[in-house]
Amino acid sequence: MNNYFVILAAGKGKRFGKNFLKQFYKYKNNVMCDIPILVINWHGAYFEEEKLLSPINVVKLNAVSMKVCNLLSSNIANSTEIIIKDARNKLLKKKGKTSNKGKKLKKLENECNEMVQIIRDELYNLDHLGNRKGKYSRRWLPEVQNAAKYMEEEGDKDAKLYLDNVCKSYRIAKWKRDSFFYEKFFSVHRSEKYSRTNKNDNRMILYYPDGRSEDIFLSFSTKAKTIPDRLKQRKRESFEVYLSDILYFLHDERDIMSVIIIDFSCNRVDDESNISDRKCRQMERSSARGVRKVQNEDLDKVRKEKKIRKTKRKIEKKNKTKKK
């Protein structure tokens, strides 16, 4: 044969203009919001006030406000996937609707914001009203609030904080690429074993627009695919990760430029941290409206600081393991 051909299959597909790989895009697909959704069911906490540079655009839905520990039921964790699918389908139906004059409705500019609002309302209604639509009157308390009330009577301060801040739950925070965000710590411990009733507990699941899903980080509730991962599950006492590690993983490993995060973890503030009550309120307000965007001149400085912090963390972890 004198004729040859070359298949160019490399590259990241940045010119494609979507938030996922082009080989997974369906031809003539009507998906309106093509942003993947990450659901976090780990433990969460703030240890210090640390601003970092975001590599991607983020819309974050926080189950609880600052300094509050979340009480997550299996009903909420198992219903999240269905709520996400239904929210996408609602936008598809809305796109195909026609008015009385027969003209198609205009494509909404904030279609992803609308989808986030649908998810937010249904999660709030299911968690605090016992129904996704929120139609029923509140004559009885859902199971989580019943448990919190019982814990409050026994003198639990975290349960009292949870009940006092129910009205502030499921608030939306946003920040754009090259903007600052506040660092958060996530962890999972060996003592919390996998339960059949709550299959999504202690997992970080990424839901793609085309219906696929994957666990982006290894934990004790996920199935280990390789032998090194199995050894980690056997030997480790806990898995730990920072919010910055998650965002950079999505950017570097999955080529995602925008993401919606549903955070079911606690927003506990460590007692030894320098974060006051006033600072907590300021952090919550600034994350809701978006933290100040960095100028182009300062980008190199911020990125260098980020690398220095990462190396310091790695050295500290190594020293801790050596001491143990």
So what's the pLDDT on residue 260?
94
> What whole-number percentage of the chain has pLDDT above 70?
76
Identify the three-state secondary structure at position 243. Answer: helix
User: Is 24 within the bounds of a domain?
Assistant: no
For residues 199 and 9, give the distance between their C-alpha atoms in angstroms, rounded to a whole number: 37
* Residue 208 counted as domain residue: yes
Confidence class for position 271, pLDDT limits 50, 70, 90: confident
Does residue 99 fall inside a structural domain? no
For 243, list phi and psi in degrees, rounded to 5: -60, -35
List residues bridging with 52 in a β-sheet: 181
- End-to-end, the C-alpha distance of the chain in Å comes to 64
- Residue 200 or residue 13, greater confidence: 200
- Determine contact, residues 54/178, Cβ cutoff 8 Å: yes
Residues 6+ apart with CB under 8 A from 204: 38, 39, 40, 41, 42, 186, 215, 216, 217, 219, 246
| Domain presence at residue 27 | no
Give the residue numbers spanning the domain of 318. 297-324
The answer on 180 and 38 residing in a single domain is yes
With CA atoms as reference, report the closest residue to 250 among 20, 9, 18: 20
Q: Are residues 170 and 301 in the same domain?
A: no
Question: Same domain for 305 and 247?
Answer: no
Task: Judge if 277 and 320 occupy the same domain.
Answer: no
Dist CA 217 CA 266 (whole Å): 18
Q: Which position has the higher pLDDT, 18 or 207? A: 207
Q: How far is CA 155 from the centre of its chain?
A: 31
Q: For residue 310, tell me if it sits in a domain.
A: yes
Residue 168 and residue 278 in one domain: yes
* pLDDT given at position 36: 92
Number of domains in the chain: 2
Does the reported pTM lie above 0.85?
no
Comparing 172 with 143, the larger pLDDT belongs to 172
Q: Is residue 286 part of a domain?
A: yes
The verdict on 188 and 306 lying in the same domain is no
d(CA 152, CA 253): 44
Residues 283, 313: one domain?
no
On whether both 38 and 113 belong to a single domain, the answer is yes
- Over range 65-75, report the average pLDDT: 88
Q: How far is CA 238 from CA 111, 119, 186, 193, 232, in A?
A: 38, 31, 10, 12, 10
Q: Report whether pLDDT(246) > 90.
A: yes
* 176 domain residue, yes or no: yes
Average pLDDT over residues 130-144: 65
Contact 71, 144 (CB under 8 A): yes
Q: Residue 103: pLDDT above 50?
A: no
Helix, strand or coil for residue 60? strand
With cut-offs at 50, 70 and 90, classify the pLDDT of residue 139: low
Could you tell me if 228 and 319 lie in one domain?
Answer: no
Are residue 268 and residue 132 in the same domain, yes or no?
yes
287 and 307 within one domain: no
Say if residue 247 is in the same domain as residue 321. Answer: no
Residues 114 and 110: their CA atoms lie apart, in Å, by: 6
The CA distances from residue 245 to 164, 242, 310, in Å, are 32, 5, 9
- Give the neighbor-by-neighbor strand order of the sheet with 43-46: 238-242, 185-189, 43-46, 268-269
**Does 241 reside within a domain?**
yes
Residue 172 burial (10 A CB sphere; 0-12, 13-18, 19+): middle
